Amino acid sequence: MRFVNTLLQAALGTAILAGAWWASTSMLQAGQARPYMLPGPETVAAKVIELIQADAFQQHIWASLAILIYGLLPALFVGVAIGAGAGASSAGRWLFGPLVLTIGAAPLVALLPVLTLWLGQSAASKAWLVFLAAMFPAANAVMVRWPKHHGLRMETSGFEERAAARQGSAGRAAAIFAGLRIGVIFGVTALVVAELVASNSGLGYFVAMSTSMFTTADAMAALLVIIVPTMVVGVLLQAIEEQLAG
């Protein structure tokens, strides 16, 4: 039931945002504001369809996806593994926890200038930034949410043991999905920052280029291509996490 409630809340939030966007556009148009200031949802949606069919825009999409494949996917795998190791035992916590805790609390996107200095405006610099920015927060989320075992009393019945085991398995799965959710959000954010600042390809670069040319509809269409899939993945992961957490 929590899974469905989370999806319904996300749908309601999306409807509220869309309504606020439409109302803001209508008010600006009534005040005779310049059309490029805030295009309406229908204009941007039409622009999304138009851009997706363009070969040049598809190249920007694939450039961003390549960074996520080489940077985000390994970050999620390594982050979940380290977080699980840190959360599963006291020894693991002391082995991995100090670095996960401290680095995970740092604004790692600030490393972009240094990575650009070392690796240039290449895919490698962006992939490393995404990897670092996603891996440590994901590991920290898994480590913090990993269920702690304090042992069962001797008089505990077999039924209670099985119930505790099921609860522990669900808690571990919920921690993993929490880490995946946090990692995806941090990783995509790092990708956008890198493409906005130090890139000549990708969706973030397309947004920066479009805003500099005052083609707001193009910029907002590219933002939707970035934001909507990320929101969908994040909401689904959170819905699964909350369902498992009970």
Domain annotation covers residue 43: no
Domain annotation covers residue 137: yes
For residue 240, what is the domain's CATH number? Answer: 1.10.3720
For 53, left (φ over 0), alpha (ψ -120 to 50), or beta? alpha
Statement: the pTM of the whole predicted model exceeds 0.95: no
pLDDT tens digits, 192-211 = 999 999 899 999 999 999 99
Domain annotation covers residue 124: yes
Domain annotation covers residue 104: yes
Residues in the chain with pLDDT values less than 50: 152-154
Angle at 179 between CA 5 and CA 147, to 5 degrees: 85
Domain annotation covers residue 210: yes
Chain centre to alpha carbon of residue 96: 23
Per-residue CA distances from 69 to 76, 131, 233, 244 (Å) = 11, 10, 15, 27
pLDDT of residue 35: 64
pLDDT tens digits, 96-106 = 999 999 999 99
Range 215-220 contact pairs with CB under 8 angstroms and sequence separation of 24 or more: 215/36, 216/36, 216/37, 216/38, 216/39, 217/36, 217/39, 217/43, 217/44, 217/47, 218/47, 218/51, 220/39, 220/44, 220/47
Phi then psi for residue 39, to 5 deg, are -65, 150
pLDDT of residue 30: 79
Domain annotation covers residue 201: yes
The one-character DSSP state at 108 is G
Domain annotation covers residue 19: no
Domain count across the chain: 1
Domain around 117: 50-149+159-245
Domain annotation covers residue 3: no
Single-letter code of the amino acid located at 38: L
pLDDT of residue 152: 46
